[in-house]
Amino acid sequence: MIVRRSLGLAALGAALSATLLLTGCDKLGFGSAPKPAFQGVDLTGANYARSFILPDIDGRMRTLQDFKGKVVVVFFGYTQCPDVCPTTMQELAEVKKALGPDGERVQGIFITVDPQRDRPELLKVYLSSFDPSFVALRGSEEQIRETAKEFKVYYTQKPGSTPDTYTVDHTAASFLFDPEGRVRVYARYGGGTQPLMSDIKLLLAGQ
């Protein structure tokens, strides 16, 4: 009985030593790297929101590859949106400015869900009021529908008092892509600039 107990303790000690050794390796960087502490929802490895292909206001087809090397922030909205859209774009503009030189590595993308009213000239003026570097994408109804489906973004028109005064209910969130073009973060509306800046800094740092 004493021998068996000694063997059991020896085995337990060996197991604990192995555990501590592995723990030490993780701390030294030899194990799997810890996940980034994103403020938004971590979408790393998601099988949706992988890309888009839509024309910009000049008619050029744009994809994520056009912005490789930058953190890309994609938002679906429309210019006549009374609150969510202008607030989101303003916050992104403030973050980009606050980042100083690193702000040049941040690209805002605005995908309109109201191509009927959001003509190219209107989109240009609208985004320029926030940051001239922001890019507006405007496709056909079918193109936008397919892109929204890829991103799992919801939008639908709500009738107004006249045919031209409808509103659009839509997903109020931004998608953050790392410099390699991989979707990483789902940033919910209403968080303010600090969570967004924190997540963008992590992506700029290669996390």
Q: What are the structure tokens assigned to 194, written together? A: 């600090």
pLDDT at 34: 74
* Percentage of residues of the chain with pLDDT beyond 70: 84
For residue 2, what pLDDT is reported? 38
Q: Are 147 and 111 a contacting pair, CB within 8 Å?
A: yes
Q: How many whole angstroms from its chain centre is CA 79?
A: 20
Instruction: Report pLDDT digits (tens) over 80-125.
Output: 999 999 999 999 999 999 999 999 999 999 999 999 999 999 999 9
The structure's pTM equals 0.83
**Greater model confidence, 13 or 154:** 154
Helix and strand totals (H; E) in the chain: 5, 10
Confidence grade of residue 33 (pLDDT, cut at 50, 70, 90): low
| Rounded Cα distance, 124 and 128, in Å | 6
Amino acid at 152: K
Q: In which element (H, E) is residue 8 found?
A: helix 2-28
How many alpha carbons fall within 13 Å on the CB side of residue 158?
7
pLDDT at residue 3 above 50? Answer: no
